[in-house]
Chains A and B, each alone.
Chain A
């Protein structure tokens, strides 16, 4: 199994509070992704990174920011959580941007009350 660790795995928070999810990889893969999974929507890309300090937006980036200061860590921040951000968040990594199968973490379940 690819070495991908997400933390926390479960979090309950209140509307308006900041939340940071962490993804840590031990594979030294260049590309890292944050997806959210919601019933009826499949997986949707939030942000991705193609190197240290290099990030770009996905299709549902509003309300989210990311940072990547080291190859192994990719952080997803919700500056002010809203109930619509209640979801399961998955981190994924890839060694190859052009073909690239993705390796997924186990997910972080976030509930915003």
Chain B
């Protein structure tokens, strides 16, 4: 079973626009991570937010975490064609257990 569920499953935007995707999870977590996967490649870690943090920034990425709602959002500002990829949230609820959601496919049109 998937701990995290991303929404929407797919997103299409114009270059320069912001992209927002959400992740909901079911159990208490230690941290939540976001990964990017380009077509045919492995996943790449983007950002980690701990359970006691509410917001985190990294370059054009902004992640929020609401533990009361068991949800997180990833915002990509000023999107570029190179941001076209699938984005996955992953939750760490226990040692050695990083559970991934089904992902959001993002298409950035030039």
Contacts and interface: CB of A to CB of B under 8 A. Distances in A.
Nearest to A35: B100
Most buried by B among A35, A48, A56, A104: A104
Where chain B touches its partner, the secondary structure class is strand
Contacts of B41: 106-107
B48 A43 contact: no
Where chain A touches its partner, the secondary structure class is strand
Interface string B18-48: 0000000000001101010000111111001
B42 A31 contact: no
Contacts of A104: 42-44
B43 A90 contact: yes
B103 A42 contact: yes
B102 A42 contact: yes
Interface residues of A, number: 27
Interface stretch (B57-65, B71-79, B91-99): B91-99
Interface string A1-44: 00010000000000000000000000000010101000011111
A67 B68 CA distance: 40
Contact of B96 (A35, A48, A90): A48
Most buried by A among B30, B42, B98, B99: B42
Interface of A: 4, 31, 33, 35, 40-45, 48, 50, 56, 59, 90, 92, 97-107
Given A101-B45, A103-B45, 15 more contacts: A4-B42, A42-B2, A42-B88, A42-B103, A43-B100, A45-B97, A48-B96, A99-B30, A99-B31, A102-B35, A102-B43, A102-B90, A102-B98, A106-B42, A107-B40
List the 6 closest A-B pairs by CB distance, nearest first.
Answer: A104-B42, A43-B100, A101-B45, A42-B102, A42-B100, A104-B43
